[in-house]
């Protein structure tokens, strides 16, 4: 039986990956590790906690001593690292935690993966490590060989983690793969992110804050399609390689906001332009030909279909949103931790 360690598995992308993998690989076992910071939510993965082939471990990847005991006891075949501080605005106001988690924590995972002979370590990265592209050059796309040119403490910490991962491959021969993905959206995304924030505020008829002129461009990918890409790279990707994962769905922020308003039948008067973010990247755009051509990956969702599905999910899961906004999910996690002693 193959055994997977999924770090950051109670977060947005990590939890979706847990659901995807448990549904697909019923004969494998999974350990989900999460530090349960503000963005980790045990309520998200509550249905999985009852499964025999799924174990949750409350642990920070910066706690090397506890992490080593876990590696020693469990004998993992695969490590998939989602654990990271990810919100750009938070990295600007408090870079320290980003450097600790996203660099030192990753170093711990790499050292232990090497020591305990993990078959493959997979690092979840981001297209933000490439910096940005000009708005008027739609012909320019980021490839896996594009230069690293970070703009925020967040992206700098993620680029550092990538370089560490590649160094462990070259220096020690650790089997690794890296995926750099464009912006994700879908179920269970923390409400501070653009799409769930706009959906939530639309439903409450509150103003929709849009940075600057709203013309910053991102490439969007449904989280389910990201999960299929990670699975494919983990099982069929070439050792030591980086794979870009993009949806080929370039949209300005204001386009996203207008689409959400249209789908929820709300007035555009709700839009309010606010002071732009410091160092706000203009445009991200991914060339995903490598994963498409070499591994045969392609996304299931068009952006419009994926956005409609996402809006439906948030409409049908208002209790999940309310538990986050009220802080009730934190109280539930404390009760669960005390009960289960995790």
Contact by Cβ (8 Å): 292, 246: no
The whole-angstrom separation of Cα 217 and Cα 281 is 9
Q: Active-site residue 128, yes or no?
A: yes
Query: What does the block give as tokens for 253?
Result: 């922020």
Q: Active-site residue 340, yes or no?
A: no
The whole-angstrom separation of Cα 150 and Cα 206 is 33
CA atoms within 13 A on the CB side of 335: 6
Catalytic residue among 154, 185, 188, 329: 154
Catalytic residue among 127, 132, 231, 250: 127
Please count the other Cβ atoms lying within 10 Å of the Cβ belonging to residue 5.
25
Catalytic residue among 34, 85, 111, 128: 128
Query: What does the block give as tokens for 104?
Result: 């030192």
Please count the other Cβ atoms lying within 10 Å of the Cβ belonging to residue 54.
20
Q: Active-site residue 200, yes or no?
A: no
Place of tokens 């991102």: 218
Contact by Cβ (8 Å): 337, 58: yes
Q: What is the DSSP letter of 219?
A: E
The whole-angstrom separation of Cα 316 and Cα 247 is 25
The whole-angstrom separation of Cα 107 and Cα 322 is 36
Place of tokens 């973010």: 277
The whole-angstrom separation of Cα 257 and Cα 82 is 27
Q: What is the DSSP letter of 276?
A: P
Beta bridge partners of 183: 220
What is the set of active-site residues? 127-128, 154
């Amino acid at each position: 039986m193959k055994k997977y360690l999924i770090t950051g598995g109670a977060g947005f992308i990590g939890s979706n990956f847990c659901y995807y993998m448990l549904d697909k690989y019923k004969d494998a076992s999974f350990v989900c590790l999460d530090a349960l910071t503000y963005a980790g939510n045990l309520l998200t993965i509550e249905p999985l906690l009852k499964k025999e082939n799924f174990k949750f471990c409350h642990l920070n990847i910066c706690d090397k001593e506890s992490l080593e005991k876990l590696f020693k006891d469990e004998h993992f075949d695969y490590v998939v690292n989602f654990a990271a501080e990810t919100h750009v605005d938070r990295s600007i106001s408090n870079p320290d935690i980003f450097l600790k988690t996203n660099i030192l924590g990753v170093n711990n995972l790499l050292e232990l993966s090497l020591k305990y002979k993990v078959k493959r370590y997979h690092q979840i990265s981001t297209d933000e490590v490439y910096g940005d592209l000009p708005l008027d050059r739609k012909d320019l796309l980021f490839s896996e060989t594009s230069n690293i040119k970070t703009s925020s403490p967040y992206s700098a910490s993620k680029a550092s983690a990538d370089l560490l991962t590649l160094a462990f491959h070259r220096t020690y021969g650790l089997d690794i793969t890296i995926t750099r993905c464009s912006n994700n959206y879908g179920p269970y995304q923390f409400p501070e992110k653009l799409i769930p924030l706009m959906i939530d505020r639309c439903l409450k008829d509150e103003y929709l804050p849009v940075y600057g002129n709203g013309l910053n461009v991102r490439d969007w990918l449904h989280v389910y399609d990201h999960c299929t890409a990670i699975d494919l790279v983990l099982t069929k990707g070439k050792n030591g390689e980086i794979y870009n994962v993009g949806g080929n769905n370039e949209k300005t922020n204001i386009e996203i906001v207008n689409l959400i308003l249209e789908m929820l039948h709300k007035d555009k008067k709700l839009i309010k332009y606010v002071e732009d973010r410091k160092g706000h990247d203009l445009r991200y755009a991914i060339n995903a030909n490598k994963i498409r051509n070499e591994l045969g990956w392609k996304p299931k969702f068009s952006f419009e279909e994926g956005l409609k599905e996402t809006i439906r999910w948030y409409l049908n899961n208002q209790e999940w949103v309310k538990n986050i906004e009220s802080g009730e999910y934190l109280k539930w996690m404390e009760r669960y931790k005390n009960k289960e002693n995790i």
